[in-house]
A and B are shown apart, each in its own frame.
Chain A
Amino acid sequence: MIRAYDDIIVKTIARILTPFIQIFALYVIMHGHHSPGGGFQGGVILGASLILLFITHGLKETKKRITEKGIAVLSSLGVLIYSGIGLLCIILLGNYLDYGKLSKLLHIVPAEARSLGILGIEIGVGITVMAVMVSIFLNISTGGTLLEDEEDNTR
């Protein structure tokens, strides 16, 4: 059961901090090539920012921004991006997940194509991890009801 937190300080600080947390998460995903980080870590930070919103602003308010269907679609979309890049490499006459073959498509040297391929799969991993974190949090915290029927759910 998640109700909106009844404290203006907590609500305001969470609202101000959330975009910065999300930008940091995107930085962690994008900068995984040059510093510690990557899809898993960045995805968890992104999911944590959404969970912070759910805790402070309540389920009803936050569900207007991210729906249950959207979360389910995002969690499969990440795996689809990952395996889609792998299949694209097969179509371009390479092995599965052999990003060097993407160079034919992008007109760059194979090493750069591999770098971009890694970035693509990291984005896919980040999307899946973020959506699954939020989905598990919502299902456990509301006992699986997700408060669809607010009126007869008085717990």
Chain B
Amino acid sequence: MRILSLIIVILTAAVLIYGTLDMPDCANPDTPASQHVSPRYVTRAMEETATHNIVTSVLGDYRGYDTLGETTVIFSAGMACILILRKRRRQ
């Protein structure tokens, strides 16, 4: 059984490593991910949002809807914690 698990792990690792061979090089500017919206963020974030920190302008402005979802997730986590754990005083 142990041998079988070892073989499965090695096979899975081999498949995953084979999958990474097709991936573009690290920090290659010609990858599709770096050609779509990233140049716009890098070149025009300062004039469009007047914010030096591009990360903040992407999080808060270009991807504002995403951050609203994150905040709602945190809010729901807090509400779920209250709903599950809170015990009211017995009357």
Contact = CB atoms under 8 A, between A and B. Distances in A.
Contacts of A72: 82
Interface string A54-75: 0000000000000000001001
Interface stretch (B11-19, B26-34, B58-66): B58-66
Contacts of A46: none
Interface stretch (A2-10, A19-27, A28-36): A28-36
Contacts, number: 104
28 contacts: A32-B56, A35-B53, A36-B55, A39-B71, A72-B82, A78-B71, A78-B75, A82-B67, A82-B71, A97-B61, A97-B68, A111-B48, A111-B50, A114-B57, A117-B60, A118-B49, A121-B60, A121-B67, A121-B68, A124-B71, A128-B74, A129-B71, A131-B78, A136-B77, A139-B81, A140-B85, A143-B87, A145-B87
Interface residues of B, number: 31
A111 B49 contact: yes
A103 to B, nearest CB: 11
B52 interface: yes
B36 interface: no
Contacts of B71: 39, 78-79, 82, 124-125, 128-129
B86 A139 contact: yes
Interface of A: 32-36, 38-40, 72, 75-76, 78-79, 82-83, 86, 96-97, 99, 111-112, 114-115, 117-118, 121-122, 124-125, 128-129, 131-132, 135-136, 139-140, 143-146, 148-149
Shortest 8 CB-CB contacts between residues of A and residues of B: A132-B78, A118-B60, A144-B85, A97-B64, A111-B50, A139-B85, A115-B50, A114-B49
Contacts of B52: 33-34
A131 B73 CA distance: 14
B78 A38 contact: no
Given A34-B53, A114-B49, A114-B61, 20 more contacts: A36-B53, A39-B71, A75-B78, A75-B79, A79-B75, A82-B67, A86-B64, A97-B68, A99-B64, A114-B57, A117-B61, A118-B56, A128-B71, A128-B74, A135-B78, A139-B81, A140-B81, A143-B87, A144-B85, A149-B89
B86 A76 contact: no
Nearest to A126: B71
